[in-house]
Chain A
Amino acid sequence: MAVTTDHIRDKLIKEIGAMHVEVEDTSPNRCAASFKVLIVSTQFEGKPLLARHRMVNTCLAEELKEIHAFEQKTLTPEQWEKQKAQ
């Protein structure tokens, strides 16, 4: 199974209710499949960073077996608005 940015985006929207997802394929900078994602979801509200990242890791558990490097940023809609304003 080849992991694509569209596949990652669709899964994050479907499974953790992401309202905004940015997926960047960083593979060309590295030696194998690599992705960088920004995920905005109300499901992150009230959850510490570690719990949020675990949600994403669990959602993409199958894909992560094929992925060499994976960077993630997990924001609530409120944090996302704040970041955009900066």
Chain B
Amino acid sequence: SARLMCTAALQKDLGDIVKKDKVVVFMKGTPAQPMCGFSNAVVQILRMHGVNEYAAYNVLDDQDLRQGVKDFSNWPTIPQIFLNGEFVGGCDILLQMHQNGDLVEELQKLGIRS
């Protein structure tokens, strides 16, 4: 069906999207105006680490994207963070990586000094 082809195309697009930039975030709202506390937490953590250049996609703009990214990463919630094309997790995981120092290390691997 057309719907199924669309879904397949979106999954392929998502594969490209997460590799296009070193840091990719799927969130509710935008970094300038997060629409959910969890998405806001991700924005604040990245800001604390001096990560200002990252790709942010607003899932509230696109219901297909909202469901598509959940299917793509097999993860039920938003926000979602990708580093170097790899799925890292949601807000809880990023927060714990921030607290235990893993995030600094991961960003260093990408050439981002926090």
Tally B residues with Cβ within 8 Å of A. 14
Number of interface residues of A (CB under 8 A): 13
C-beta contact mask, B67-78 vs A, less than 8 Å → 1, else 0?
A: 000000011110
| Bound Cα distance from A49 to B97, whole angstroms | 9
- In the complex, 27 of the A-B residue pairs with CB atoms within 8 angstroms, ordered by the A residue number, are A49-B89, A49-B93, A49-B96, A49-B97, A50-B87, A50-B88, A50-B89, A50-B93, A53-B89, A53-B90, A53-B92, A53-B93, A54-B74, A57-B75, A57-B76, A64-B76, A64-B77, A65-B76, A69-B38, A69-B77, A70-B76, A70-B77, A71-B91, A71-B92, A72-B92, A73-B92, A73-B96
Known: A64-B76, A64-B77, A71-B92. 5 other contacts (CB 8 A): A49-B89, A53-B89, A53-B90, A53-B93, A57-B76
